[in-house]
Amino acid sequence: MVTTRRGGGNGMFHGWRILGVTLASQAVQAGLLIYGFGVVILPFAAEFGVPRQTLMLGSTLLSLTTNIISPLGGAAIDRGWTRNLMTFGAVMLALAFLALSRVNAMWQVLAVFALLLPFSNLLLGQLTSSALMTRWFTRLRGRALGLSAVGTSIGGLLVPPIVAQLSVTLGWRNAYAIVGLGALALLIIPIRAWIVDRPQTIGQLPDGDPVVTIVPGTIVTTPASAAKLTTRDLLVSLRFWQVTLIIALVAGSYLALIANLVPHATDVGVPAPQAALLMSVMALCAIPGKIAFGMLADRIDLKYAMWTVIGCIMLALCALIVATDFIGLVGASVLLGLAGGGLLPLWGMYVAQGFGQANYGKAAGLMNPAMMPLTLFAAPLAGRVFDQTGHYTQAFVAFLIALAVAAVINLFLRLPPRGSAA
C-alpha cells in the first residue's frame, strides 16, 4: 500500500520561500554590481581625478575574478554548502562597500572590485540561485528559474536610483556604508533561515509533490539520478562544449548589443535622453521574457525555446541595421529584452538537463571561464569595428553569423530525456 502526504506535512512548499530569497539576492547583486556599476563607480572619477578608462577597469577586474573563482564556487555548491556560501557572499558585499566608503586612492577601489566583490557577484547571483531552483523544482523548473531571475530586472530598475539618491543626500561615502550594511541586513536573515540545499533534507519533494509513504513489500520505481561527474568528465564531454558554445555565442552577442545600443541610437540621430530610454525598455521587457520563456521551456523541447531566443535576437539585429528612427529602435529593444530575459532560465535548464542537478554547480561553474573570451570581449570588438568604419553594421552582421552558428550547434546537441537525470 502506498499513501501520500503533502510537503512533509508542514504547510507551504518550502521551495517558494527559497525562490523568494534567490530573487532578493539577485536583485541586490545585479542592482549593485551589474546595472548599478556606473552609479557606484562614478564618484571615484571626481574624487581621484581618474579617466573613464581606469574606472571601467573595475568592471573588467570584477568579471575576470568572478570567472576565475567560478569553478571552485560551483564545486562547493554541489557539496551542499549553498547556505554558507550565500552567507559569505552577503558578508563580503557588506565589507566591500564599507571598504569603498573609506578608500583614499583609486588602486584601493580597483582592489575591492578585484578581491572582495567577485565573491558577492558569484555567490549571490545566478550560479547559486539556479542551482537551488534546479534542485527544488523539476516539472516547474523553467517557471521557477524565470521567476527567480526576475530579481535581476527588479534590481536593475530599483537599486541604481536608490544608490544615486543616497549619494546625493548623504554623500557617497556615507551612502556606500549604508548600502553595504543594508544589503547585509536584507539578506542575512532569510538566507540563514530559509536556504536549504535539497527538499529531501526537510522531508519534501521537488515542486511540492506529495511525499510517498511505502508499506513494506510495495515496489515503487523512481527516476534515475545523474551520475557524479568529475571535472575531467565535463571537459572531455562534447555536450559540455556544445552547451558552452551555444550560451557563449548568444550571451556574448546580447551583452555586446546592450553595451553598444545607446551609442548606436545616438549615431542614427536619436537624442540622448530618448536613446537612454531604450535601456529601460529592455529592462522592463526582460521581466515578461524571463517568466514567459521559463514557462514555455517547461512545455516544449528546450532546443525549440533556444531557437526562439536566437530568432528574437536576430530579428532585433536586422531591425538595428535598417532602423533610422526611435520607433524602429524601440521595436529592436523589445525583442532584445524578451530574448535576454528568456536566456537566463534557458541557460539553467540546459545545464540541469544536460548534466543533472547533482552536477549543476560544477558544470555551470566551469562554463563561466570557458565562455569568458566571447562574453567579455564581444562588446569591445564591436566598439573597435565602429572606430574603424564609423558604424556598427559589420559588427551586427558578425553577431548574426555568431547566432546562426549557435543555432546550428543547437541542432546537433543531444540532451538526455527530460526527467531522466533530474
pLDDT tens sequence across 101-111 = 999 999 999 99
* pLDDT per position as a tens digit, 136-167: 999 999 999 999 999 999 998 889 889 999 99
pLDDT attached to residue 9:
47
Compute and round to an integer the Cα radius of gyration of the chain.
22
- CA nearest to 222, candidates 237, 200, 194, 244: 200
CA dihedral angle for residue 119, residue 121, residue 125, residue 126, rounded to 10 degrees: -100
Q: What residue type is assigned to position 170 of the chain?
A: L
Segment among 34-38, 97-101, 237-241, 325-329 with least mean pLDDT: 34-38
Arithmetic mean of pLDDT over the chain: 89
CA dihedral angle for residue 6, residue 12, residue 16, residue 21, rounded to 10 degrees: -140
Strands (E), 113-201: none
pLDDT attached to residue 211:
67
C-alpha to C-alpha distances, 393 to 26, 260, 270, 319, 399, nearest whole angstrom:
34, 12, 17, 11, 10
- Percent pLDDT > 70 in the chain is 93
* pLDDT per position as a tens digit, 377-392: 887 788 788 888 888 8
* pLDDT per position as a tens digit, 176-187: 999 999 999 999
Segment among 22-31, 189-198, 350-359, 369-378 with least mean pLDDT: 369-378
Interatomic CA distance for residues 160 and 156, integer angstroms: 7
> What is the band of 275 on the pLDDT scale with cuts at 50, 70, 90?
confident
* pLDDT per position as a tens digit, 29-64: 998 998 888 788 888 988 998 887 788 788 889 989
Q: Are the beta carbons of 292 and 237 closer than 8 angstroms?
A: no
N residues, the chain: 422
Whether 216 has a pLDDT exceeding 70, the answer reads no
Q: Which residue has the cell 567560478?
A: 70
Segment among 80-84, 148-152, 358-362, 386-390 with least mean pLDDT: 386-390
> What is the band of 330 on the pLDDT scale with cuts at 50, 70, 90?
very high
CA atoms within 13 A on the CB side of 301: 10
354 backbone dihedrals φ, ψ, rounded to 5°: -75, -35
Whether 222 has a pLDDT exceeding 50, the answer reads no
Whether 321 has a pLDDT exceeding 70, the answer reads yes
Mean pLDDT of 307-317: 96
